[in-house]
Amino acid sequence: MNNPLISVIIPTYNRTWALGEAVDSVLAQTYPAVELIVVDDGSTDETPDLLARYGDALRVLTLENGGVSRARNHGISASKGEFIAFLDSDDRWLPGKLSEQATFFESNPEALICQTEEIWIRNGKRVNPCKHHKKPSGDIFEASLHLCLVSPSAVMMRRTLLEDVGLFDEALPACEDYDLWLRIACRYPVYTTPSPLVVKHGGHDDQLSKTPLLDRFRIQSLVRLLEGGTLSEAQAGAARAVLQKKGRIYAGGCRKHGRDEEAEAITRLVNQTIAQNIR
């Protein structure tokens, strides 16, 4: 193996309670060619002091608070690696994570993206993922329409893939990963390697997955995907069906909570998009 450089990007905002473990887990990787970039998205806690202790072991980019998509995109733009990997600041890797993925890419030169399996920790206790969260491998597009089946902390990809499909959508305050994985999966296989090499923590209050009304952002993503004209006929049909379902559920929730104008706006958007994209 020629050990191509892997750029690892950790976006963080006010997570000194977890960030040190995330950084340490990257520095403990058995893979020898790693560039670690931590993007501090305007933290107001002790994050700068914590990162300063690592000296030249990592690069720090400091931004005004602008969201995780902007932070990741800045890290990508500043990176130099042939491969890109992401790690959320509340997760950590086991030492062989990057080595297993680098070996996969060496054995599969046509592959552009892969992810590892994960160990899930919720409120300090290990839990088993539900059956519908099981990660598929290969053509995952239709399965990924319903829920996000790719984890940022588990992903590694060739830089050329992001040059092809684009970066994270900075207009989305949440579900930005759902959006990117769909843009990738509609065109390329997304592979999963067998070992659980990411420890994924959940249950804390500042998780983006706890952002209210997440389906609103998934609906926005599906609308743009259908309007982009890149989907096959079968993919577009599947996307329309999921968009219609999500729109109906979201509008129903809006009406239940007295947001009738929002319900009508979402319904119009969904119906208009579907009508314009029926082939």
Q: Do 189 and 95 have their domain in common?
A: yes
How, if at all, do strands 6-12 and 83-86 pair? Answer: parallel
Domain boundary among 178, 209, 240: 209
Q: Do 198 and 218 have their domain in common?
A: no
Q: Do 196 and 219 have their domain in common?
A: no
> Does residue 37 form part of some domain?
yes
Q: Are the C-beta atoms of 14 and 36 separated by less than 8 Å?
A: no
Residue numbers of the domain that contains 156: 6-209
Domain count, the chain: 2
Q: Do 171 and 70 have their domain in common?
A: yes
Domain boundary among 176, 192, 209: 209
Q: Do 37 and 93 have their domain in common?
A: yes
Token code pair at residue 95: 């030492």
> Does residue 1 form part of some domain?
no
From 276, 279, 222, 226, select the one nearest 250 (Cα to Cα): 222
0.85 surpassed by pTM: yes
Domain boundary among 174, 209, 244: 209
- For 220-258, what is each residue's pLDDT tens digit? 999 999 999 899 999 999 999 999 999 999 999 999 999
Q: Is 1 in a helix, a strand, or coil?
A: coil
Q: Do 151 and 255 have their domain in common?
A: no
- For 41-80, what is each residue's pLDDT tens digit? 999 999 999 999 999 999 999 999 999 999 999 999 999 9
Rounded to a whole number of angstroms, the CA Rg of the chain reads: 19
